[in-house]
A and B are shown apart, each in its own frame.
Chain A
Amino acid sequence: MRELALHLLDIAHNSVSARARNITITVIEDVQADRLRLAVEDDGCGMDAETVQRVVDPFVTSRTTRSVGLGIPLLKAAAEACDGSLKISSQPGIGTRIDIDFQHSHIDRMPLGDVAETILTLVIGCPDVHWRLVYQYGEGVFEFDDAPIKETLDGIPLTEPSVLGYLRALIRDGIDQIQVTADAI
């Protein structure tokens, strides 16, 4: 993966697979403290402690009753290479939260990339999930919640061409705004 936004896309799909109804993605660019913090939180089926271990370290030779991928181990390695970390807190029946943080200015820190495209991909491709994005850059915050949009559309699909344009503009402009405002200070 060449962008952290693609890692977020990957992790968010884990939440969908865990049958989550509500998924919140958080991006915090705390330039002052020189930290980049990402989080994906869901109310899916959750994992017990053994599964959390296996998810983070797939090279342990134990019985594999569930599929294990490299998405999380690779992201963990990327964070640790940037003076950061990846932490999972999960409870069966409640949900899972994955927190990843990096030194923002670390020379090896891969670009955040296109967060707007990632969110759009998730909202359109997994329409049965309630998606929220909280994007913080410095003091500015942009929050996106697809619930009021779906409520207003009341059955019209998100792939209706004019709605696609609306969603894309809403998310992109929202993120651009807080970055422009922050950089101007």
Chain B
Amino acid sequence: MDKVKTLEDLKRLREEALEKRKVKTASGQTQVIVGMGTVGIAAGARETLKAILDYIEQNNLSDILVRQTGNIGLDSFEPIVQVIIGENPKVTYGRVTPDAARRIMKEHVLNGQVVKEYKIEG
């Protein structure tokens, strides 16, 4: 893939993205939220987020909202990742290593299957 560097190239990417949006059917917003409090960062949350972003880029997934949140009080379960798909209830995952993040992207975000192994109940 050509590495784009200039703002001109970026403008082209924008046009392509706009075209993609026209054909996409409305299916509810997917949100992936990664905990980035001090404890999360120390536990490796930056690498977890990187795995998620790499997955999005490699699999060409548009329209996934990726956000950060601070400490949510589950220190011993960091890194934390939360997934919200459309109107479904938020699912909170704990101890999400980069490998776990890839599984969550593939099985939950793409295929709608919650990854029970990492899910935090309650």
Contacts and interface: CB of A to CB of B under 8 A. Distances in A.
A1 B66 contact: no
Interface of A: 1, 6, 9-10, 13, 17, 69-71, 114, 117-118, 120-121, 124-126, 148-149, 152-154, 156-157, 159-166, 168-170, 173
Contacts of A173: 3, 5
Contacts of A70: 38
- Interface size for chain B: under 10, 10 to 19, 20 to 34, or 35 or more residues? 35 or more
Interface of B: 1, 3-5, 7, 9-11, 13-14, 16-18, 34, 36-38, 41-42, 46, 49-50, 53, 56-57, 59-68, 70-71
14 contacts: A1-B42, A6-B41, A6-B46, A69-B38, A120-B50, A124-B49, A124-B53, A125-B34, A125-B49, A152-B10, A152-B11, A153-B10, A159-B64, A163-B13
A161 B57 contact: yes
B17 A169 contact: no
B38 A121 contact: no
Given A160-B13, A169-B3, A169-B4, A121 B42 contact: no
A125 B67 contact: yes
A124, A160, A165: most-surrounded residue (chain B CB, <10 A): A160
Contacts of A148: 7
Contacts of B57: 161-162, 164-165, 168
A7 to B, nearest CB: 9
A13 B37 contact: yes
